[in-house]
Amino acid sequence: MQSRKEKSKKLQLPVVQRKVGSILTLLDELYPGATCSLGFRNPLELLVATVLSAQCTDERVNQVTPGLFKKYPTAQAYAQARLEELENEIRSTGFYHNKAKSISAACRILDERFNGNIPADLDALVQLPGIGRKTANVILGNAYQIPGIVVDTHVSRVAQRLGLTSQKDPDKIEQDLMELIPRERWIAFSHQMIQHGRQLCQARKPKTEVCPLRPYCDYAAAHDQEKSNT
């Protein structure tokens, strides 16, 4: 038997679906060339850059990676590197102990099991240390053009405010968005949502007054209602 919450979600789904087309059109107009802002030349470089980007700006990562990629051109090179040396190379990205361990362990597995190559498979990627669904989808979408929705903090926040999901868990948000967004739009949609989160729908002070998505935003509607009640 379905719970009241599950029934409510199904009843609301057609309402949400009706505004998705308008949101996608506006995102195309706002961010027509949105793409991955991490610098990389191959799947391994993208994997490393994405791990480094956790709790760090892409700009900072892009300052660190050119020298890093030159010093460690293969998965074997990372696997054989002294952990302390790798930590020093990535120190400025923050959380460098855990990031170095993840990169080293993941690259050891890649070297031993995949001949140093990055598998173009979600299930294989998420088995690697430090690689969750978000990072796996970044790699698949940008290195292999395999559709997936990247749910980072920006995508989570924007999707919740637009009323595209009521979930807080990234995996559940991903499932909600996959149900709403056409598969062929998943890669571009992820980039556009990230850009929107950075430029307008910021965490602390969202620019709702000037946001083109305002007519379709639950957060803005609730904010307007609060103002009218005061």
Task: State the distance between the two ends of the chain, measured CA to CA, in whole angstroms.
Answer: 41
Six-digit token string for 197? 């989160």
Catalytic residue chosen out of the listed positions 19, 99, 111, 152: 152
Task: Give SS3 for 111.
Answer: helix
134 is catalytic: yes
- If you count them, how many residues does the chain have? 230
Tokens 């051109």 found at: 73
Helix axes 153-162, 218-229, angle to 10 degrees: 60
Give the single-character DSSP code of 126. Answer: T
Distance separating alpha carbons of residues 58 and 39, to the nearest angstrom: 9
Which secondary-structure segment (H or E) carries 67?
helix 58-71
Question: Which of 71, 134, 169, 207 does the annotation list as catalytic?
Answer: 134
Calpha distance 25→31 (Å, rounded): 10
Residue with tokens 């293969």: 74
Active site residues: 134, 152
